[in-house]
């Protein structure tokens, strides 16, 4: 029976197999096209669509965190044919935004399923996938996230098959069946996934990581955000004597492989998905991608599951570690924008900080260096009286839990505005504390009994 099924799917595969140039003919002027996410972006189809630029007008393209400059953008610098948009900015997105070639799409990440089902049009989806297995399934590789919703919503689905894609087990939503596919395009070179450069970890990053480590204990359920500092904490955990840690995270990074290989992660005390390292997308190096390939310890889920605060918080001791750009004395956290310039996106930070407080014994950390050095060499405090003008709030003050700098830890829950201001000024750089006190007095969030 299995042999008959295999032959049947092979025949269907051959029927749907076309060149990239043939597949992109289904795109019409005015269409909404969705590309794959993160390191799972379809290069063959992107190049083919770019070759049709002069035939098309007002084709709107969405992506999540581009890891390349799309060819459709390169061939259309005036945006006459293609309008490119990103759900979460990367360095490439920021570069394109500077040239007015990319727009941001705000999203609270765990709401992705309902948002796409009810509020988003998708005419064509271009999805990068692994080779088809004997049962007719293509794996979505390292990016589950919103991709399964995109597949369900799209009027037409084209998969680009790349044999080098790791098979990332679920969970759920990690695969697409050939019956859901309209066209299949074979990658011409089976190029491997992007390897991110190793983050540069500064002395300040290490100092912040050491402060965060003071709060971590056995059996915590970890979430790490992107960047050098969360990776520094992951490295410290790997080299510690902590034990029986669990993983329920938005992003899986190389540091989790190190922690697992050194015996820190067992997941046996998790309440949800016991024994599994749960994630919705992965970005890192071949070390991570090889670890993921057909590994039953790892469980890939759509983001409405991984990032739902009410699912996350069913685990005890949820320990969420995330970066920020600025925090003001009202405790508002800005992690995605500087003034009117979009830097990244809301991502899962809000989801996991909220969930950590709901979790029994949980802790949600916003970590940032106390100062930043500007291009002109001047040094400014990242703890500010108020956020820079036009800056977007990522985590509202009522949700913020812990803030950590190299100078200490501020726990803000249940505190008055003047207590919160005092706690933050205590962990600001000493050179800026007097100035911050003066501003807090003007803002009426400082009282005589306050002292540092």
Average pLDDT, the chain: 96
Domains and CATH numbers, the chain: 2-186 (3.40.1080.10), 203-442 (3.40.1080.20)
Q: What is the pLDDT of residue 73?
A: 98
In this structure, are strands 371-373 and 379-381 parallel, antiparallel, or unpaired? Answer: antiparallel
How much is the pLDDT for 231?
84
Active site residue 118: no
For 168, list phi and psi in degrees, rounded to 5.
-100, 115
Which pLDDT does position 1 carry in this prediction? 44
The predicted pLDDT at position 447 comes to 87
| pLDDT at residue 227, as a whole number | 81
Tens digits of residue pLDDT in 242-273? 999 999 999 999 999 999 999 999 999 999 99
Residue 177 has pLDDT above 50, yes or no: yes
Comparison of pLDDT for 6 and 392, the residue scoring more: 392
Burial class of residue 154, CB neighbours in 10 A (0-12, 13-18, 19+): buried
388 pLDDT above the threshold of 50 = yes
**In the predicted model, what is the mean pLDDT of residues 142-162?**
98
Residue 229: pLDDT band (50, 70, 90) is confident
Q: How far is CA 311 from the centre of its chain?
A: 18
Q: What pLDDT does residue 450 have?
A: 66
Q: What is the pTM of this model?
A: 0.96
Q: If DSSP states are collapsed to H, E and C, what string results for 293-348?
A: ECCCCEEECEHHHHCCHHHHCCCCCEEEEEECCEEECCCCEECCEECCEECCCCCC
Q: Which residues pair with 341 in a beta bridge?
A: 338
Over the range 82-107, which residues count as b (16 or more CB within 10 Å of their CB) and which as e? bbbebbbbbebbbebbeeebbbbeeb
Token output for 277: 């390292």
For the segment 403-417, the average pLDDT, to the nearest whole number, is 98
Q: What is the pLDDT of residue 3?
A: 47
Q: 274-327, pLDDT tens digit by residue?
A: 999 999 999 999 999 999 999 999 999 999 999 999 999 999 999 999 999 999
Query: What are the tens digits of pLDDT across the range 24-61?
Result: 999 999 999 999 999 999 999 999 999 999 999 999 99
Residues 6+ apart with CB under 8 A from 378: none
H, E, C per residue of the chain:
CHHHHHHHHHHHHHHHECCHHHHHHHCCCCCEEEEEECCCCCHHHHHHHHCCHHHCCCEEEEEECCCCCCHHHHCCCCCCCEEEEECCCCHHHHHHHHCCCCEECCCCHHHHHHHHHHHCCCCEEEEEECCCCCCCEEECCCECECHHHHHHHCCEEEEEECCCCCCECECCCCEEEHHHCCEEEECCCCCCCCCCCCCCCCHHHHHHHHHHHCCCCCCCEEEECCCHHHHHHHHHHHCCCCCCEEEECCEECHHHHHHHHCCCECCCCCCCCCCCEEECEECCCHHHHHHHECCCCEEECEHHHHCCHHHHCCCCCEEEEEECCEEECCCCEECCEECCEECCCCCCHHHHHHHHHHCCCCEEEEECCCEEECCCCCEEECEECCCCCCCCCCECCCCCCEEEECCEEEECCCCCHHHHHHHHHHCCCHHHHHHHHHHHHHCCCCCCCCCC
Which one has a higher pLDDT value, 212 or 228? 212
Cβ(303)–Cβ(350) below 8 Å: no
Say which of 37, 160, 250, 336 is annotated catalytic: 250
Question: For 286-297, what is each residue's pLDDT tens digit?
Answer: 999 999 999 999
The better pLDDT of the pair 231, 321 is held by: 321
pLDDT for residue 226: 79
Residue 282's pLDDT is 98
For the chain, percent of residues with pLDDT exceeding 90 = 94
Tell me the sheet residues that pair with 278: 248, 299
Closest CA to 295 of 260, 244, 259, 264: 260
190-222 tens-digit pLDDT: 999 999 998 889 999 999 999 999 999 999 999
């Amino acid at each position: 029976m299995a042999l008959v099924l295999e032959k049947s799917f092979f025949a269907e595969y051959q029927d749907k197999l076309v060149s990239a140039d043939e597949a992109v003919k289904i795109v019409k002027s005015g269409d909404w096209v969705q590309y794959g996410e993160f390191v799972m972006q379809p290069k063959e189809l992107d190049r083919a669509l770019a070759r049709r630029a002069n035939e098309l007008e007002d084709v709107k393209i969405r992506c999540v965190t581009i890891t390349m400059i799309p060819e459709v953008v390169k061939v259309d610098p005036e945006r006459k044919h293609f309008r490119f948009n990103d759900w979460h900015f990367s360095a490439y997105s920021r570069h394109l935004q500077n040239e007015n070639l990319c727009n941001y799409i705000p999203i609270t990440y765990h709401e992705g399923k309902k948002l796409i089902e009810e509020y988003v049009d998708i005419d064509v989806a271009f999805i990068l996938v692994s080779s088809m297995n004997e049962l007719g399934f293509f794996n979505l590789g390292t990016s589950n996230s919103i991709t399964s919703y995109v597949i369900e919503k799209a009027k037409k689905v084209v998969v680009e098959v790349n044999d080098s894609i790791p098979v990332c087990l679920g969970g759920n939503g990690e695969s697409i069946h050939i019956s859901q596919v309209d066209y299949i395009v074979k990658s011409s070179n089976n190029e491997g996934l992007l390897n991110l450069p190793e983050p540069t970890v500064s002395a300040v990053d290490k100092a912040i990581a050491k402060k965060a480590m003071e709060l971590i204990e056995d059996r915590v359920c970890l979430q790490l955000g992107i960047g050098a500092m969360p990776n520094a904490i992951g490295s410290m955990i790997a080299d510690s004597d902590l034990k029986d840690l669990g993983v329920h995270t938005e992003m899986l990074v190389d540091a989790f492989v190190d922690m697992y290989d050194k015996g820190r992660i067992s997941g046996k005390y998790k309440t949800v998905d016991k024994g599994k390292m749960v994630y919705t997308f992965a970005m890192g190096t071949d070390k991570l991608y090889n670890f993921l390939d057909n590994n039953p310890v790892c469980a890939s889920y759509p983001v409405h599951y991984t990032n739902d605060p009410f699912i996350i918080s069913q685990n005890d001791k949820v320990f969420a570690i995330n970066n920020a750009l600025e925090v003001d004395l009202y405790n508002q956290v800005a992690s995605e924008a500087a003034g009117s310039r979009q830097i990244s996106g809301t991502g899962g930070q809000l989801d996991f900080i909220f969930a950590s407080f709901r979790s029994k014994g949980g802790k949600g950390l916003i970590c940032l260096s106390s100062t930043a050095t500007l291009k002109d060499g001047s040094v400014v405090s990242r703890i500010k009286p108020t956020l820079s003008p036009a800056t977007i709030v990522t985590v509202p003050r009522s949700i913020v839990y812990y803030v950590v700098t190299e100078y200490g830890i501020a726990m803000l829950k249940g505190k008055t505005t003047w207590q919160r201001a005092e706690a933050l000024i205590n962990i600001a750089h000493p050179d800026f504390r007097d100035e911050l006190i003066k501003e807090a007095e003007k803002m009426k969030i400082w009282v005589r009994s306050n002292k540092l």
